[in-house]
A and B are shown apart, each in its own frame.
Chain A
Amino acid sequence: MIKQMITASLLLTLYSIIGTGLVAYTNAATKDQITGNEKGVLVGSIGEVLPADSYDNDITNDKITLTDPTKLGTPNPVTIYRARKGDTPVAAVITTEAPEGYSGAIKLLISINADSTLAGVRVISHAETPGLGDKVETSKSNWILEFTGKSLNDPKPDKWGVKKDGGVFDQFSGATITPRAIVKSIKTTLLYFQDNSGEIFSKPSDK
Protein backbone atom coordinates (compact mmCIF):
# COMPACT_ATOMS: atom_id res chain seq x y z
CA MET A 1 0.00 0.00 0.00
CA ILE A 2 2.67 2.46 1.12
CA LYS A 3 4.88 1.28 -1.69
CA GLN A 4 2.11 1.90 -4.21
CA MET A 5 1.60 5.42 -2.92
CA ILE A 6 5.28 6.17 -3.21
CA THR A 7 5.51 4.85 -6.78
CA ALA A 8 2.42 6.85 -7.73
CA SER A 9 3.76 10.10 -6.31
CA LEU A 10 7.19 9.55 -7.82
CA LEU A 11 5.60 8.96 -11.23
CA LEU A 12 3.47 12.06 -10.87
CA THR A 13 6.55 14.10 -9.92
CA LEU A 14 8.42 12.74 -12.90
CA TYR A 15 5.63 13.70 -15.32
CA SER A 16 5.38 17.17 -13.78
CA ILE A 17 9.10 17.70 -14.23
CA ILE A 18 8.98 16.59 -17.86
CA GLY A 19 5.92 18.76 -18.57
CA THR A 20 7.38 21.82 -16.88
CA GLY A 21 10.70 21.26 -18.63
CA LEU A 22 8.99 21.22 -22.00
CA VAL A 23 7.12 24.43 -21.27
CA ALA A 24 10.29 26.09 -19.95
CA TYR A 25 12.17 25.05 -23.07
CA THR A 26 9.50 26.45 -25.42
CA ASN A 27 9.37 29.61 -23.35
CA ALA A 28 13.11 30.10 -23.65
CA ALA A 29 13.03 29.36 -27.37
CA THR A 30 10.20 31.79 -28.17
CA LYS A 31 10.95 34.53 -25.64
CA ASP A 32 12.87 36.87 -27.94
CA GLN A 33 10.36 36.48 -30.73
CA ILE A 34 7.49 37.26 -28.35
CA THR A 35 9.21 40.30 -26.84
CA GLY A 36 9.90 41.46 -30.40
CA ASN A 37 6.23 41.03 -31.34
CA GLU A 38 5.04 42.93 -28.28
CA LYS A 39 7.47 45.75 -28.98
CA GLY A 40 6.44 45.79 -32.63
CA VAL A 41 2.81 46.25 -31.69
CA LEU A 42 3.73 49.00 -29.22
CA VAL A 43 5.85 50.83 -31.79
CA GLY A 44 3.02 50.44 -34.31
CA SER A 45 0.42 51.92 -32.00
CA ILE A 46 2.70 54.74 -30.88
CA GLY A 47 3.28 55.47 -34.58
CA GLU A 48 -0.46 55.96 -35.01
CA VAL A 49 -0.68 58.74 -32.46
CA LEU A 50 2.73 60.36 -32.96
CA PRO A 51 4.67 60.81 -36.23
CA ALA A 52 7.87 58.77 -36.04
CA ASP A 53 10.01 61.64 -37.40
CA SER A 54 8.93 64.05 -34.65
CA TYR A 55 11.25 62.46 -32.06
CA ASP A 56 14.66 60.77 -32.09
CA ASN A 57 14.94 58.91 -28.77
CA ASP A 58 14.29 55.23 -28.09
CA ILE A 59 10.72 55.87 -27.01
CA THR A 60 9.80 52.33 -25.94
CA ASN A 61 12.58 52.37 -23.34
CA ASP A 62 12.07 55.95 -22.15
CA LYS A 63 9.06 55.33 -19.95
CA ILE A 64 7.71 55.86 -16.45
CA THR A 65 4.91 54.08 -14.63
CA LEU A 66 2.60 55.96 -12.30
CA THR A 67 -0.23 54.88 -10.05
CA ASP A 68 -2.59 57.57 -8.80
CA PRO A 69 -6.25 56.49 -8.77
CA THR A 70 -7.68 59.90 -7.85
CA LYS A 71 -5.78 62.06 -10.32
CA LEU A 72 -5.30 59.61 -13.20
CA GLY A 73 -8.87 58.30 -13.07
CA THR A 74 -7.89 54.64 -13.10
CA PRO A 75 -6.92 52.31 -10.25
CA ASN A 76 -4.33 50.59 -12.44
CA PRO A 77 -0.77 51.72 -13.21
CA VAL A 78 -0.42 54.09 -16.15
CA THR A 79 2.64 53.90 -18.39
CA ILE A 80 3.94 57.07 -20.01
CA TYR A 81 6.34 56.87 -22.98
CA ARG A 82 8.31 60.06 -23.50
CA ALA A 83 9.22 61.35 -26.95
CA ARG A 84 12.16 63.76 -27.13
CA LYS A 85 14.18 65.41 -29.84
CA GLY A 86 17.67 65.86 -28.47
CA ASP A 87 16.91 67.00 -24.92
CA THR A 88 13.68 68.81 -25.74
CA PRO A 89 10.46 67.04 -24.72
CA VAL A 90 8.24 66.52 -27.77
CA ALA A 91 5.27 64.55 -26.49
CA ALA A 92 4.08 62.04 -23.92
CA VAL A 93 2.31 58.88 -25.06
CA ILE A 94 0.14 57.69 -22.20
CA THR A 95 -1.42 54.25 -21.91
CA THR A 96 -4.42 54.68 -19.68
CA GLU A 97 -7.92 53.30 -19.42
CA ALA A 98 -11.45 54.58 -19.16
CA PRO A 99 -12.87 52.43 -16.36
CA GLU A 100 -16.48 53.45 -17.01
CA GLY A 101 -16.99 51.69 -20.35
CA TYR A 102 -20.27 49.91 -21.00
CA SER A 103 -18.66 46.51 -20.47
CA GLY A 104 -15.49 47.03 -18.50
CA ALA A 105 -12.48 49.27 -18.92
CA ILE A 106 -11.56 50.67 -22.34
CA LYS A 107 -7.79 50.78 -22.84
CA LEU A 108 -6.59 53.98 -24.46
CA LEU A 109 -3.40 55.37 -25.91
CA ILE A 110 -3.34 59.14 -25.53
CA SER A 111 -0.56 61.17 -27.06
CA ILE A 112 -0.12 64.74 -25.76
CA ASN A 113 2.30 67.25 -27.30
CA ALA A 114 4.57 69.24 -24.99
CA ASP A 115 2.29 72.27 -25.59
CA SER A 116 -0.65 70.31 -24.03
CA THR A 117 -2.53 69.73 -27.28
CA LEU A 118 -3.59 66.21 -28.22
CA ALA A 119 -1.45 64.57 -30.89
CA GLY A 120 -3.84 61.67 -31.15
CA VAL A 121 -5.99 59.15 -29.30
CA ARG A 122 -6.58 55.47 -30.09
CA VAL A 123 -8.54 52.68 -28.41
CA ILE A 124 -6.19 49.76 -27.76
CA SER A 125 -8.76 47.27 -26.53
CA HIS A 126 -12.35 47.27 -25.40
CA ALA A 127 -15.31 44.97 -24.89
CA GLU A 128 -18.05 47.38 -26.02
CA THR A 129 -21.13 46.14 -27.90
CA PRO A 130 -20.32 45.29 -31.53
CA GLY A 131 -22.22 47.58 -33.87
CA LEU A 132 -22.92 50.24 -31.22
CA GLY A 133 -20.00 51.05 -28.93
CA ASP A 134 -17.31 49.76 -31.27
CA LYS A 135 -17.47 52.92 -33.39
CA VAL A 136 -14.54 54.06 -31.25
CA GLU A 137 -12.29 51.88 -33.43
CA THR A 138 -10.69 53.59 -36.42
CA SER A 139 -11.80 50.72 -38.65
CA LYS A 140 -15.46 51.44 -37.83
CA SER A 141 -15.65 55.24 -37.74
CA ASN A 142 -13.56 58.40 -37.59
CA TRP A 143 -14.91 59.46 -34.22
CA ILE A 144 -11.69 59.01 -32.26
CA LEU A 145 -9.74 61.14 -34.79
CA GLU A 146 -11.84 64.14 -33.79
CA PHE A 147 -9.68 64.61 -30.70
CA THR A 148 -6.45 65.32 -32.56
CA GLY A 149 -5.44 68.95 -31.98
CA LYS A 150 -7.89 69.48 -29.13
CA SER A 151 -6.74 70.72 -25.72
CA LEU A 152 -8.17 72.08 -22.49
CA ASN A 153 -8.38 75.52 -24.18
CA ASP A 154 -10.27 74.12 -27.16
CA PRO A 155 -12.92 73.32 -26.07
CA LYS A 156 -12.95 74.81 -22.55
CA PRO A 157 -12.88 72.26 -19.71
CA ASP A 158 -16.64 72.55 -18.99
CA LYS A 159 -17.36 71.68 -22.64
CA TRP A 160 -15.33 68.45 -22.45
CA GLY A 161 -18.26 66.08 -22.63
CA VAL A 162 -20.60 64.44 -25.11
CA LYS A 163 -23.36 66.62 -26.62
CA LYS A 164 -26.00 64.94 -24.47
CA ASP A 165 -24.19 66.27 -21.37
CA GLY A 166 -23.79 69.77 -22.81
CA GLY A 167 -20.33 69.17 -24.27
CA VAL A 168 -19.07 69.42 -27.83
CA PHE A 169 -18.29 65.80 -28.71
CA ASP A 170 -20.64 63.51 -30.65
CA GLN A 171 -22.16 60.47 -29.03
CA PHE A 172 -23.30 57.49 -31.13
CA SER A 173 -26.95 56.71 -31.67
CA GLY A 174 -27.67 53.93 -29.20
CA ALA A 175 -24.40 54.28 -27.31
CA THR A 176 -23.70 57.22 -25.04
CA ILE A 177 -21.86 55.47 -22.25
CA THR A 178 -18.85 54.49 -24.36
CA PRO A 179 -18.04 57.98 -25.76
CA ARG A 180 -18.80 59.55 -22.37
CA ALA A 181 -16.27 57.28 -20.66
CA ILE A 182 -13.60 58.01 -23.26
CA VAL A 183 -14.12 61.78 -23.26
CA LYS A 184 -13.91 61.77 -19.46
CA SER A 185 -10.72 59.76 -19.48
CA ILE A 186 -9.06 62.04 -22.05
CA LYS A 187 -10.04 65.10 -20.03
CA THR A 188 -8.62 63.59 -16.83
CA THR A 189 -5.40 62.73 -18.61
CA LEU A 190 -5.09 66.23 -20.09
CA LEU A 191 -5.61 67.78 -16.65
CA TYR A 192 -2.97 65.51 -15.17
CA PHE A 193 -0.53 66.36 -17.93
CA GLN A 194 -1.17 70.09 -17.55
CA ASP A 195 -0.44 69.95 -13.81
CA ASN A 196 2.51 67.56 -13.95
CA SER A 197 4.18 67.92 -17.33
CA GLY A 198 7.49 69.06 -15.80
CA GLU A 199 7.69 66.00 -13.61
CA ILE A 200 6.53 63.65 -16.38
CA PHE A 201 9.48 64.57 -18.55
CA SER A 202 12.13 64.93 -15.82
CA LYS A 203 11.56 61.69 -13.91
CA PRO A 204 14.26 59.07 -14.55
CA SER A 205 13.14 56.27 -16.84
CA ASP A 206 12.05 52.88 -15.48
CA LYS A 207 14.40 50.03 -16.07
Chain B
Amino acid sequence: MAKVSYKEISINGLWKNNPVLVQLLGLCPALAVTASFVNALGLSMATTATLIASNVVISLIRNFVKSEIRIPVFIIVIASAVTVVELLVKAFAYDLYLVLGIFLPLIVTNCVILGRAEAFASKNTVVASFVDGLMGGIGFTIILCSLGAMREVIGNGTLFDGMHLMFGEAAKAMTLTIIPNYKGFLLAILPPGAFIGLGLLLAGKNIIDHRS
Protein backbone atom coordinates (compact mmCIF):
# COMPACT_ATOMS: atom_id res chain seq x y z
CA MET B 1 0.00 0.00 0.00
CA ALA B 2 1.54 3.26 -1.11
CA LYS B 3 2.10 5.91 1.51
CA VAL B 4 -0.60 8.54 1.46
CA SER B 5 0.26 12.04 2.60
CA TYR B 6 -1.91 13.69 5.24
CA LYS B 7 -2.49 16.58 2.88
CA GLU B 8 -3.89 14.21 0.30
CA ILE B 9 -6.08 12.47 2.90
CA SER B 10 -7.42 15.84 3.97
CA ILE B 11 -8.18 17.06 0.45
CA ASN B 12 -9.87 13.74 -0.27
CA GLY B 13 -12.06 13.86 2.83
CA LEU B 14 -12.99 17.51 2.49
CA TRP B 15 -13.42 17.90 -1.23
CA LYS B 16 -12.22 15.42 -3.86
CA ASN B 17 -13.82 12.40 -2.25
CA ASN B 18 -16.31 14.16 0.04
CA PRO B 19 -18.61 11.55 1.67
CA VAL B 20 -21.81 13.33 0.68
CA LEU B 21 -20.92 15.31 -2.45
CA VAL B 22 -18.88 12.66 -4.26
CA GLN B 23 -19.44 9.28 -2.66
CA LEU B 24 -23.11 10.13 -2.06
CA LEU B 25 -23.00 8.06 1.12
CA GLY B 26 -25.02 8.65 4.27
CA LEU B 27 -27.76 10.43 2.37
CA CYS B 28 -30.61 9.21 4.55
CA PRO B 29 -29.54 11.11 7.69
CA ALA B 30 -28.14 13.94 5.56
CA LEU B 31 -31.54 14.56 4.02
CA ALA B 32 -33.66 13.82 7.06
CA VAL B 33 -32.10 15.95 9.78
CA THR B 34 -31.04 19.02 7.83
CA ALA B 35 -34.27 20.95 8.33
CA SER B 36 -32.32 23.27 10.63
CA PHE B 37 -28.68 24.15 11.22
CA VAL B 38 -28.53 22.90 14.80
CA ASN B 39 -29.89 19.44 13.94
CA ALA B 40 -27.42 19.12 11.08
CA LEU B 41 -24.53 20.14 13.32
CA GLY B 42 -25.57 17.75 16.09
CA LEU B 43 -25.88 14.72 13.86
CA SER B 44 -22.72 15.42 11.91
CA MET B 45 -20.70 15.86 15.09
CA ALA B 46 -22.00 12.53 16.40
CA THR B 47 -21.18 10.95 13.05
CA THR B 48 -17.68 12.44 13.05
CA ALA B 49 -17.02 11.11 16.56
CA THR B 50 -18.16 7.64 15.49
CA LEU B 51 -16.13 7.78 12.30
CA ILE B 52 -12.93 8.71 14.15
CA ALA B 53 -13.49 6.11 16.87
CA SER B 54 -14.23 3.29 14.43
CA ASN B 55 -11.35 4.24 12.12
CA VAL B 56 -8.85 4.29 14.99
CA VAL B 57 -10.04 1.03 16.54
CA ILE B 58 -10.17 -0.80 13.22
CA SER B 59 -6.71 0.44 12.30
CA LEU B 60 -5.42 -0.75 15.70
CA ILE B 61 -6.76 -4.26 15.24
CA ARG B 62 -6.18 -4.47 11.47
CA ASN B 63 -3.42 -7.06 11.86
CA PHE B 64 -5.47 -9.25 14.21
CA VAL B 65 -8.52 -9.67 12.02
CA LYS B 66 -8.74 -12.54 9.56
CA SER B 67 -9.97 -11.28 6.24
CA GLU B 68 -12.92 -13.75 6.12
CA ILE B 69 -14.49 -12.27 9.25
CA ARG B 70 -13.42 -8.65 8.82
CA ILE B 71 -16.88 -7.30 7.89
CA PRO B 72 -18.65 -8.71 11.00
CA VAL B 73 -15.77 -7.47 13.15
CA PHE B 74 -16.04 -3.99 11.62
CA ILE B 75 -19.76 -3.98 12.26
CA ILE B 76 -19.21 -4.96 15.90
CA VAL B 77 -16.72 -2.11 16.29
CA ILE B 78 -19.00 0.41 14.58
CA ALA B 79 -22.12 -0.68 16.46
CA SER B 80 -20.29 -0.46 19.79
CA ALA B 81 -18.89 2.97 18.93
CA VAL B 82 -22.33 4.27 17.91
CA THR B 83 -23.98 2.92 21.05
CA VAL B 84 -21.31 4.54 23.21
CA VAL B 85 -21.75 7.87 21.40
CA GLU B 86 -25.52 7.57 21.75
CA LEU B 87 -25.28 6.95 25.50
CA LEU B 88 -22.90 9.89 25.90
CA VAL B 89 -25.19 12.26 24.00
CA LYS B 90 -28.11 10.98 26.07
CA ALA B 91 -26.18 11.66 29.26
CA PHE B 92 -24.63 15.03 28.46
CA ALA B 93 -26.83 16.63 25.77
CA TYR B 94 -30.27 15.20 26.48
CA ASP B 95 -32.18 17.92 24.58
CA LEU B 96 -30.15 17.18 21.49
CA TYR B 97 -30.84 13.48 21.97
CA LEU B 98 -34.57 14.22 21.95
CA VAL B 99 -34.22 16.19 18.70
CA LEU B 100 -32.07 13.66 16.84
CA GLY B 101 -34.05 10.69 18.12
CA ILE B 102 -33.84 7.64 15.91
CA PHE B 103 -31.12 9.10 13.65
CA LEU B 104 -28.51 8.70 16.36
CA PRO B 105 -28.61 4.87 16.58
CA LEU B 106 -29.07 4.81 12.81
CA ILE B 107 -25.51 6.11 12.39
CA VAL B 108 -24.61 2.40 12.46
CA THR B 109 -26.14 2.06 9.02
CA ASN B 110 -24.35 5.12 7.64
CA CYS B 111 -22.27 3.59 4.85
CA VAL B 112 -19.61 6.29 5.18
CA ILE B 113 -18.38 4.60 8.33
CA LEU B 114 -18.17 1.03 7.06
CA GLY B 115 -16.86 2.40 3.76
CA ARG B 116 -13.93 4.18 5.42
CA ALA B 117 -13.25 1.18 7.67
CA GLU B 118 -12.99 -1.19 4.72
CA ALA B 119 -11.35 1.14 2.21
CA PHE B 120 -8.94 2.98 4.47
CA ALA B 121 -8.61 2.09 8.16
CA SER B 122 -8.08 -1.64 7.55
CA LYS B 123 -5.00 -0.87 5.43
CA ASN B 124 -3.42 2.18 7.05
CA THR B 125 -1.68 3.29 10.24
CA VAL B 126 -3.58 4.54 13.26
CA VAL B 127 -2.56 8.18 12.77
CA ALA B 128 -3.46 8.15 9.08
CA SER B 129 -6.81 6.55 9.90
CA PHE B 130 -7.47 9.16 12.57
CA VAL B 131 -6.79 11.95 10.07
CA ASP B 132 -8.95 10.21 7.48
CA GLY B 133 -11.83 9.89 9.96
CA LEU B 134 -11.49 13.48 11.11
CA MET B 135 -11.34 14.93 7.60
CA GLY B 136 -14.13 12.74 6.26
CA GLY B 137 -16.18 13.80 9.29
CA ILE B 138 -15.47 17.47 8.70
CA GLY B 139 -16.37 17.07 5.03
CA PHE B 140 -19.66 15.45 6.08
CA THR B 141 -20.25 18.20 8.67
CA ILE B 142 -19.64 21.06 6.22
CA ILE B 143 -22.12 19.71 3.69
CA LEU B 144 -24.80 18.88 6.27
CA CYS B 145 -24.46 22.27 7.91
CA SER B 146 -24.61 24.10 4.55
CA LEU B 147 -27.73 22.18 3.67
CA GLY B 148 -29.19 22.82 7.13
CA ALA B 149 -28.39 26.54 7.01
CA MET B 150 -29.82 26.84 3.51
CA ARG B 151 -33.07 25.11 4.41
CA GLU B 152 -33.46 26.99 7.67
CA VAL B 153 -32.95 30.43 6.09
CA ILE B 154 -35.27 29.73 3.16
CA GLY B 155 -37.83 27.78 5.15
CA ASN B 156 -37.96 29.76 8.38
CA GLY B 157 -36.07 32.98 7.78
CA THR B 158 -33.79 32.26 10.76
CA LEU B 159 -30.29 30.90 11.28
CA PHE B 160 -28.80 29.11 14.30
CA ASP B 161 -32.24 28.79 15.91
CA GLY B 162 -32.26 26.28 18.76
CA MET B 163 -28.50 26.36 19.41
CA HIS B 164 -29.27 26.17 23.15
CA LEU B 165 -30.04 22.46 22.58
CA MET B 166 -26.29 21.96 22.15
CA PHE B 167 -24.58 24.85 23.90
CA GLY B 168 -26.81 25.70 26.86
CA GLU B 169 -29.16 28.62 27.54
CA ALA B 170 -26.58 31.30 26.68
CA ALA B 171 -26.67 30.20 23.04
CA LYS B 172 -30.30 31.28 22.71
CA ALA B 173 -28.94 34.70 21.79
CA MET B 174 -27.23 33.19 18.74
CA THR B 175 -30.48 32.99 16.79
CA LEU B 176 -30.26 35.31 13.80
CA THR B 177 -33.38 36.51 12.08
CA ILE B 178 -32.25 36.77 8.49
CA ILE B 179 -35.61 37.74 7.03
CA PRO B 180 -37.86 39.61 9.50
CA ASN B 181 -41.63 38.94 9.46
CA TYR B 182 -41.07 35.95 7.22
CA LYS B 183 -44.09 33.75 6.71
CA GLY B 184 -41.91 30.71 6.03
CA PHE B 185 -41.47 28.68 2.89
CA LEU B 186 -42.72 25.21 3.75
CA LEU B 187 -41.15 23.39 0.80
CA ALA B 188 -37.62 24.02 2.08
CA ILE B 189 -38.41 22.37 5.44
CA LEU B 190 -40.24 19.39 3.95
CA PRO B 191 -38.35 16.44 2.37
CA PRO B 192 -38.44 17.83 -1.22
CA GLY B 193 -36.47 20.82 0.05
CA ALA B 194 -33.73 18.44 1.17
CA PHE B 195 -33.48 16.82 -2.24
CA ILE B 196 -33.53 20.15 -4.10
CA GLY B 197 -30.96 21.63 -1.71
CA LEU B 198 -28.63 18.63 -2.08
CA GLY B 199 -29.04 18.81 -5.87
CA LEU B 200 -27.99 22.47 -5.82
CA LEU B 201 -24.94 21.68 -3.68
CA LEU B 202 -23.91 18.86 -6.04
CA ALA B 203 -24.36 21.15 -9.03
CA GLY B 204 -22.31 23.83 -7.27
CA LYS B 205 -19.44 21.40 -6.69
CA ASN B 206 -19.51 20.26 -10.30
CA ILE B 207 -19.39 23.84 -11.57
CA ILE B 208 -16.35 24.59 -9.40
CA ASP B 209 -14.62 21.38 -10.49
CA HIS B 210 -15.21 22.10 -14.19
CA ARG B 211 -13.83 25.62 -13.96
CA SER B 212 -10.51 24.54 -12.49
Contacts and interface: CB of A to CB of B under 8 A. Distances in A.
B35 A11 contact: no
B87 A12 contact: no
Contacts of B84: 22-23, 26
A12 B72 contact: yes
Given A19-B77, A37-B94, A130-B35, A26 B88 contact: yes
A7 B69 CA distance: 10
A37 B90 contact: yes
B189 interface: yes
Interface stretch (A27-35, A47-55, A176-184, A192-200): A27-35
A4 B67 CA distance: 12
Given A23-B83, A23-B84, A37 B76 contact: no
A20 B72 contact: no
A16 B80 CA distance: 9
A15 B73 contact: yes
A132 B189 CA distance: 12
Contact of B83 (A11, A26, A33): A26
B174 interface: no
Given A22-B84, A27-B87, A11 B190 contact: no
A130 B190 contact: yes
B66 A7 contact: yes
A34 B79 contact: no
B80 A30 contact: no
A114 B66 CA distance: 67
B76 A15 contact: yes
Interface in A52-106: none
Secondary structure type dominating chain A contacts: helix
Contact of A131 (B73, B79, B87, B189): B189
A37 B91 contact: yes
Contact of A34 (B35, B90, B189): B90
A8 interface: yes
Nearest to B190: A130
Nearest to A41: B94
B65 interface: yes
Given A7-B66, A37-B94, A131-B184, A15 B87 contact: no
Nearest to A35: B91
| Size class of the A contact interface (CB-based, 8 Å) | 20 to 34
Given A19-B79, A22-B80, A11 B65 contact: yes
Contacts of B90: 30, 34, 37
Interface in B80-116: 80, 83-84, 87-88, 90-92, 94, 98
Contact of B66 (A11, A16, A131): A11
Contacts of B209: none
A15 B77 CA distance: 8
A30 B35 CA distance: 30
B87 A26 contact: yes
Nearest to B76: A19
B137 to A, nearest CB: 20
B100 to A, nearest CB: 13
A131 B79 CA distance: 36
A7 B87 CA distance: 32
Contacts of B171: none
Given A8-B69, A34-B94, 18 more contacts: A4-B68, A7-B66, A11-B64, A11-B65, A11-B66, A12-B69, A15-B61, A15-B73, A22-B84, A23-B83, A23-B84, A30-B90, A37-B90, A38-B94, A41-B98, A130-B35, A130-B190, A131-B186
Interface of B: 35, 61, 64-66, 68-69, 72-73, 76-77, 79-80, 83-84, 87-88, 90-92, 94, 98, 155, 184, 186, 189-190
A-B residue pairs, 6 tightest by C-beta: A19-B80, A30-B91, A37-B94, A33-B91, A131-B186, A19-B76
